[in-house]
């Protein structure tokens, strides 16, 4: 077992670190405060190949793999949660899903344009009555000649208002429940589609989120991803990838909170010594450092397994996602304790990082959903890796 990143991954990580420090950091606070979508930064990230790691070269990616994807995601997430979202919108939930389940024409048409950010993507699963329970989706796709008519409403969709293309999940046959769900690659400029921004969010304010309303939207059979009735399987397969990205994002924000806390604990003096010399602060920092590194190891294991291929590592993906996202919240809480009043103030980045960290408990399967997957596997009720 080799715990060192190879030289290619180290090189792409260094490029991502430099980009985050030089291009994102100087403006992140202002962009977040003003809810400014950073399209120009996405374009640059696309040009640098950040979104193409788990995509083969023949479709415009670098073929560097899942571990490289996780490492780059982590570096960007240290500085911006909003830009971290793009690693699922441009890669895992769209380009990679089309790569895994689409036909050749769909791959040639969409993947390269997504990973270079020529077009922006989004993922349309969640609905007002379908959050954790994906099977409760109500959006319908009714066959009509050589196409389908889509009706329904998606909510909490990242990039809803700015995306060009969405992977939209809809029932082609609701009578057979999960076996009647299908996935469509939908051009969001199609007639009958409208979007509404969601209410203001706690964090990720530079990342637009909205509702997508579909009213008699006509799409061609060519927009069907893979086979009719396989949408639930594709959705779960894709979540296995988007959850890795979420885990890597959580590791990134945790590391940023650790770094800020250490910097502050060394500088801030109370009772005539740096607070870092108090054992209770040291205990807090030790736990933050160890838990962040443990989360990273689970995340890298998950990515390395995907690179090795051959197994569906839903269990290890859930473990990485669950643990990393819980750690992000715990580390954020500790950071706020260490910084005291300054942690509560927008003068220091901890306040923003704290808000970014909380989202990881909700996205890509809440903590409870992952505990269900992990415990059912452990108890032998339902094996996760099938």
Ligand X SMILES: Cc1cc2nc3c(=O)[nH]c(=O)nc-3n(C[C@H](O)[C@H](O)[C@H](O)COP(=O)(O)OP(=O)(O)OC[C@H]3O[C@@H](n4cnc5c(N)ncnc54)[C@H](O)[C@@H]3O)c2cc1C
Q: Which residues are catalytic?
A: 364
Would you say 248 and 214 are in contact if contact means Cβ atoms under 8 Å apart? no
> Binding mask 172-211 vs ligand X (x if CB under 6 A, - otherwise)?
-----------------------------x--x----x--
- Alpha carbon distance 56, 52 (integer Å): 8
Q: Which stretch binds ligand X (CB under 6 A): 57-65, 231-239, 265-273, 361-369?
A: 361-369
User: Does position 132 bind ligand X by CB under 6 A?
Assistant: yes
Does residue 314 bind ligand X (CB under 6 A)? no
Burial class (CB in 10 A: 0-12, 13-18, 19+), 243: buried
In the complex, what is the shortest distance from the CB of residue 199 to ligand X, in angstroms, rounded to a whole number?
Answer: 11
Q: Which residues from 209-238 bind ligand X, rule CB under 6 A?
A: 209
Q: Which is nearer to ligand X, 68 or 320 (CB)?
A: 320
Measured from the CB atom, the residue of 139 and 172 that comes closer to ligand X is 139
362 binds ligand X (CB under 6 A): yes
Shortest Å distance, C-beta 369 to ligand X: 6
State yes or no: residue 376 binds ligand X (CB under 6 A).
no
Binding of residue 73 to ligand X (CB under 6 A): no
The string of DSSP letters for 183-231 reads EEEEETTSTTEEEEEPPP-SS-TTS-EEEEEEEEEEEEGGGB-SSTT-H
Q: Does 131 bind ligand X (CB under 6 A)?
A: yes
Q: How many CA atoms within 13 Å lie on the side-chain side of 149?
A: 5
Task: For residue 114, give both structure tokens.
Answer: 């997504």
Stretch that binds ligand X, among 14-22, 52-60, 181-189, 355-363 (CB under 6 A): 355-363
Nearest Cα to 98, choosing from 279, 224, 199, 263? Answer: 224
Applying CB under 6 A, the site for ligand X has a residue count of 19
Neighbours of 363 (CB within 10 A): 20
CB 81 within 8 A of CB 359: yes
Alpha carbons 168 and 184: distance in angstroms, whole number:
5
The residue ranges that bind ligand X (CB under 6 A) are 122-126, 131-132, 156-158, 201, 204, 209, 359, 362-363, 366, 368-369
């Amino acid at each position: 077992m080799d715990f060192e990143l190879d030289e290619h991954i180290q090189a792409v990580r260094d490029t991502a670190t430099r980009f985050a420090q030089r291009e994102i950091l100087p403006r992140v606070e202002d962009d977040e405060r003003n809810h400014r979508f950073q399209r120009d930064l996405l374009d640059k990230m696309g040009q640098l190949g950040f979104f193409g790691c788990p995509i083969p070269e023949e479709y415009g990616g670098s073929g560097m793999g899942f571990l490289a994807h996780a490492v780059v995601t982590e570096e960007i997430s240290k500085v911006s949660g909003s830009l971290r979202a793009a690693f699922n919108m441009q890669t895992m939930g769209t380009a990679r899903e089309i790569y895994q389940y689409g036909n050749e024409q769909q791959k040639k048409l969409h993947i390269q344009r997504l990973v270079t950010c020529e077009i922006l993507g989004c993922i349309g699963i969640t609905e007002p009555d379908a959050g954790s329970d994906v099977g409760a989706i109500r959006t319908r796709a009714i066959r009509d000649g050589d196409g389908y008519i889509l009706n329904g409403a998606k909510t909490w969709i990242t990039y809803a208002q700015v995306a060009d293309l969405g992977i939209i999940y809809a029932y082609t046959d609701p009578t057979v429940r999960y076996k009647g769900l299908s996935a469509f690659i939908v051009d969001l400029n199609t007639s009958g589609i409208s979007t509404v921004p969601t209410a203001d969010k706690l964090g990720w304010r530079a990342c637009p989120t909205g509702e997508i309303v579909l009213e008699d939207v006509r799409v061609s059979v060519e927009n069907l991803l893979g086979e009719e009735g396989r949408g639930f399987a594709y959705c779960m397969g894709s979540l296995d990838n988007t959850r890795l990205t979420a885990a890597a994002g959580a590791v990134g924000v945790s590391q940023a909170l650790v770094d800020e806390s250490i910097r502050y604990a060394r500088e801030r003096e109370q009772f005539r010594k740096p607070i870092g010399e108090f054992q209770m602060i040291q205990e807090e920092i030790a736990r933050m450092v160890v838990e962040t590194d443990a989360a990273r190891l689970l995340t890298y294991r998950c990515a390395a397994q995907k690179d090795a291929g051959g197994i569906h590592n839903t269990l290890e993906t859930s473990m990485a996602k669950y643990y990393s996202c819980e750690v992000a919240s715990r580390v954020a809480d500790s950071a706020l304790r260490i910084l005291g009043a300054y942690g509560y103030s927008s003068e220091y980045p901890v306040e923003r990082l704290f808000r970014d960290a909380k989202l990881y408990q909700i996205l890509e399967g809440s903590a409870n959903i992952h505990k269900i997957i992990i415990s059912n596997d452990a108890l032998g009720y339902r094996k996760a890796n099938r």
